[in-house]
Amino acid sequence: MRRSSLLLLGALSGTLLLSSGCSLQPWVKPYERDRLADPIMAWDRDAISSGYMDHIRESREGSRGATGGAGGGCGCN
Amino acid sequence: MIAALLLIRSTIADVLPDDRADVFYSKYSGGGMDITGYSATARAKITENFAVEANYFIDKVSGASIDVLSQASVIKDERKQKSGTLEYLHDKTTYTASYISSVERDYISETASFSLSQSMFGDLTTLTLGFADTHNTVGENNGTADVPKVAWVGHALSRAYSGGLSQILTKNFIADVNLQVITDAGYLANPYRSIRYLDPLNAKGYSLASQVYPDTHTSTAVQVQGKYYLPYRAAVTALYRYYNDTWGVVGNTYELDYTHPIANKWIFEGRVRYYKQSAASFYSDLFPFAGSQNFTARDQNLAALDNTTIGAKVTYAFLPDGWRMFKRGTVTADVSRIRFNYLDFRDIKDFGLPQYAPGTEPLYQFSATVYQLFLSVYF
Amino acid sequence: MSKISTLLKRCAMAGIVVASTAFAAGGDASGPAPAFTLTTLGGQASGLSAYKGQVVMVNFWATWCGPCQQEMPLLDQMYKKYKPAGFTLIGVNVDKEAPAVKELLTRKPVSFPVLLDPANQVSKAYHVDEMPSSVIIDRKGQIRYIHRGYKPGDENDYQDRIRQLIRE
């Protein structure tokens, strides 16, 4: 638990320090996001369906957790 | 049980997703079990920044899984699940709160969860943090399927912490890493499952006894996935998940997915998944004698096993460009075939003395098919 | 462990604040508006110079951008309303391919000129960092205001700025 939370905080602050300036600029411009905005590039088009499959797996496997994804898309607004 | 409900669903932290309603039918058939599910979901934006979602799910179970078959009678049960979610978008942050309640005759589960999703670095990076609390009440039906007599045997509390980082790597490629740590405490066993130990005095050669589980359990899962856009308009996804826990179970999941659309009307998807796990440290198919260990389990979920899934999904847009207030309407069919293979769990329902001495029965294997059919309309 | 985690937590909070304020919806801007020449769907060449002396709003949009679709009808209304007063709206489309643009504009036509920027040269010249983006240029060809993104109600903001610049 301690190692995992340190890892998380490390990743979090690393990304935030990156985004707060420095020399790195977003390398994919908002007008270049047409492919990423395509619905086929969504992590999860149908959450009900994937939630159901996850439930089935958890009832028959000894593992759980860490399924799912966020982000991507057109980046509008 | 809880982690599926904690699915950090796809959030795009720039606008809230479209309003949508779905009706869903599912059927799971395999290993002696038949489970039919019906569900209805609706989500709507109350304001541009605030959305609500509600879901109702009914699962009807009939039949019995192998270890219940080995010992007890057929089961018939119904599970009703209700959930509500609130989503609030402010600038580049989406806050989500949800509550899920699942009720069966002999099992009640309630989960409250909260998550935060932050879009940053020119919207190339999305950071998600989540937290959930679950309370389970476990019972045991000592009657029959038709005339139940449920005794409540224990409670379990669970807490889950999740973190995720999603990163757009190129115009065509997005990657994601997810971490989830779950801690449970309380009554963590399945009351219907028993262990067996060698007993020459018994006609079968073995006797049954109750499982004894530890009253704590902590697990860590890390998943990485990448999605790549192929130039002719298709997407390929690769996923790997590593799991381990304080019970000694180590699990590896590998999945490959291919999505192929045709114009604005059809989306075809194929997937292959392979999962392998090692047994829990206190698991055994056959214990040498009663009380040989402090903790004992013979639950097939904790056995050394692997499974392979092949799935196909077709989505057809019957309203590709909308009609009146509907922006889009689709119908989807999804079929998965799963082959389960146990490496240290034996089929003692169909096999035993005199042909098979205890511990030499064939290893258990079965196949299951999962069907899903749903209708979705977007507003 | 606890000292480090407190420090990291503080950095994280500061970072979130910086990251979110960096994306304010609109801001005053300055400098001459870069000239450009692009083609319409019909293949005719046009550009900023055709509207010299007028108040111009350059709206960067794409067929795959939801909020862009949302604001189009409102931009159309705004164009019709202020055109007689010396205002023009130019829609610069950033799609890589024209067919999707043609299909959308056939289904949902607009009356303001739409120019195609598939090579994204104009988007780069205007430093577009959000979709949609609206750049408001005064009668002297100077950029006065950049509005990033679109949320319902933003059109009131646009109208205030346009009225202000028309009066100048």
| pLDDT above 90: residue A77 | no
Residue C1 clears pLDDT 60, i.e. is over it: no
- State which residue of chain A sits closest to B258, comparing Cα positions: A40
How much of chain A is in helix, strand and coil states, percent to nearest 5? 55, 0, 45
pLDDT of residue C5: 58
**DSSP conformational letter for C48:** G
> Is residue B100 predicted with pLDDT exceeding 50?
yes
Q: In chain C, what residues touch B18 (CB-CB under 8 Å)? A: 66
Q: Does C16 touch chain B (CB under 8 A)?
A: yes
pLDDT at C21: 41
pLDDT band at B55 (very low <50, low <70, confident <90, very high): very high
In chain A, residues with a C-beta closer than 8 Å to the C-beta of C68 are 76
**ipTM of predicted assembly, 2 dp:** 0.91
- Residue B25: beta bridge partners? B38, B373
User: Which chains would you list as touching A if contact means 3+ CB atom pairs under 8 Å?
Assistant: B, C
Q: Which of B141-145, B311-315, C72-76 has the lowest mean pLDDT?
A: B141-145
Residue C17 belongs to some domain of the structure: no
List the single residue in C68, C120, C123 with the smallest CB-CB distance to A76: C68
Residue A77 lies in a domain: no
Instruction: Say if residues B301 and B342 touch (Cβ distance below 8 Å).
Output: no
Instruction: Determine the distance in angstroms separating the CA of A52 from the nearest CA of chain C, rounded to an integer.
Output: 29
Domain containing B294: what range?
A: 2-17+93-378
Average pLDDT, whole number, for chain B? 92
Is B117 in contact with B126 (CB distance < 8 Å)?
A: yes
Cβ neighbourhood burial of A68 (10 Å; 0-12, 13-18, 19+): buried
In a domain, A12, yes or no: no
Does any domain span residue C15? no
pLDDT in tens, A47-72: 989 999 999 999 899 999 888 777 77
Q: How far is CA B39 from CA B22, B82, B207, C24, C111, in A?
A: 8, 10, 42, 40, 45
Residue scoring higher pLDDT (B17 or B8): B17
Q: Which amino acid is at C65?
A: C
**Assigned domain for A8 exists:** no
Weakest mean pLDDT among B13-22, B46-55, C3-12: C3-12
Identify the pLDDT of residue C6: 59
pLDDT in tens, B268-320: 999 999 999 999 999 999 999 999 999 999 999 999 999 999 999 999 999 98
- Confirm whether A72 is domain-assigned: no
pLDDT greater than 70 at residue C156? yes
pLDDT band at C71 (very low <50, low <70, confident <90, very high): very high
In a domain, B361, yes or no: yes
User: Is the pLDDT score of B262 beyond 80?
Assistant: yes
A43 falls within a domain: yes
Residue C107: what pLDDT? 86
Burial class (CB in 10 A: 0-12, 13-18, 19+), B149: exposed
Query: In the structure encoding, which two tokens stand for residue B26, read together?
Result: 């599912």
Q: Is B91 helix (H, G, I), strand (E, B) or coil?
A: coil
Tell me which chain B residues have a C-beta less than 8 angstroms from the C-beta of A40. 229, 233-235, 259, 261, 267
A12 min Cα distance to partner chain C (Å)? 7
Check whether A19 has a pLDDT greater than 70. no
Å from C8 to nearest chain A CA? 6
Average pLDDT over residues B2-18: 55
At a CB cut-off of 8 Å and minimum separation 6, what does B57 contact? B37, B38, B39, B79, B80, B81, B82, B83
Among candidates C23, C67, C151 on the partner chain, residue whose Cβ is nearest the Cβ of B92: C23
Residue B34 in any domain: the answer is no
Nearest CA in chain B to C149: B14
Q: What is the mean pLDDT of residues B84-107?
A: 94
Domain membership flag for residue A48? yes
* CB-closest option in B11, B123, B128 to A75: B123
Task: Return mean pLDDT, chain C.
Answer: 86
Contact criterion met (CB below 8 Å) for B336 and B310: yes
Provide the domain count of chain A: 1
Q: Could you tell me if A21 lies within 8 Å of chain B, comparing CB atoms?
A: no
Residue A18, pLDDT above cutoff 80: no
CATH number at residue C60: 3.40.30.10
Q: Give me the mean pLDDT over the B235-251 stretch.
A: 97
- Whether C118 has its CB under 8 Å from any CB of chain A: the answer is no
Question: Is residue B140 within 8 Å of residue B70, measured between CB atoms?
Answer: no
Q: If you average pLDDT over residues C32-47, what whole number do you get? A: 92
C9 and A9 within 8 Å at the Cβ level: the answer is yes
Is C161 a residue whose pLDDT tops 80? yes
Please give the average per-residue pLDDT across B31-46, as a whole number: 93
Using the Cβ of A53 and the Cβ atoms of chain B, whether some distance falls under 8 Å is answered with yes
State whether A54 and B14 contact (CB < 8 Å): no
Q: How many CB atoms are located within 10 Å of the residue B230 CB?
A: 14
pLDDT: which is higher, B365 or B11: B365
Q: Chain B: residue nearest A61 by CA?
A: B301
Does residue C47 fall inside a structural domain? yes
C-alpha B200/C-alpha B273 separation (Å) is 42
pLDDT in tens, C114-130: 999 999 999 999 999 89
Interface of C with A in 38-97 (CB under 8 A): 60, 62, 64-68, 94-96
Task: Examine residue A66 and state whether it is found in any structural domain, yes or no.
Answer: no
Q: Say if B75 falls within a structural domain.
A: no
pLDDT for the residue numbered B2: 44
What lies within 8 Å, CB to CB, of B281 at 6+ separation is B247, B248
Domain that holds residue C139: 24-167
As a residue count, chain B comes to 379
Question: Considering its fold, how many domains does chain B have in total?
Answer: 1
Place of tokens 């369906």: A49
Q: Assess contact for B136 and B115: CB atoms under 8 A.
A: no
User: What's the start-to-end Cα distance of chain C, in Å?
Assistant: 61
Question: In the prediction, which pLDDT does B180 show?
Answer: 97
Structural domain range at position A55:
23-60
Residues B114-127 have a mean pLDDT of 94
Question: What CATH number is associated with residue B188?
Answer: 2.40.160.40
Q: What is the pLDDT of residues B330-370, one digit of tens each?
A: 999 999 999 999 999 999 988 998 999 999 999 999 999 99
- Looking up tokens 């530890």, which residue turns up? B214
Q: How many domains does chain C have?
A: 1
Q: Is residue B79 part of a domain?
A: no
CA dihedral sign, ordered B65, B71, B76, B79: negative
Reported in sequence order, the residue ranges of C5-141 that DSSP labels E, i.e. its strands, are: 26-28, 37-40, 45-47, 55-61, 87-93, 114-116, 133-137
Q: How far B354 CA lies from chain A's nearest CA (Å)? A: 30
